[in-house]
Amino acid sequence: MQMYVNYYDRFVKLDDENKTIGIILCKDKKDTMVEITLPKNNQQIFASKYELILPSKEQLKKVIETRK
């Protein structure tokens, strides 16, 4: 996923846009996966909703697994 985030930032993202953050949330019948990546040498994260900390992978898995 890091490769895709870096590619997007180099070749797709406009100059006035913030750096890309990659998040994969995946659920199938037997497993739930959460992966998060930031751009290389990232110094800041901008978000539309500010939280003091990101939820852990385990917390995100629980949210996904409780959704139908």
Predicted TM-score (pTM) of this structure: 0.49
Whether the per-residue pLDDT at 47 is higher than 80: the answer is no
Asked if pLDDT for residue 53 goes beyond 80, the answer is: no
Q: Do residues 2 and 40 lie in contact, with contact meaning Cβ atoms separated by under 8 Å?
A: yes
Q: Across the chain, where does the E strand assignment appear?
A: 22-27, 32-37
Give pLDDT, residue 44: 65
Of the candidates 16, 17, 25, the residue with the CA atom closest to the CA atom of residue 54: 25
Domain range list for the chain: 2-66
pLDDT of residue 14: 92
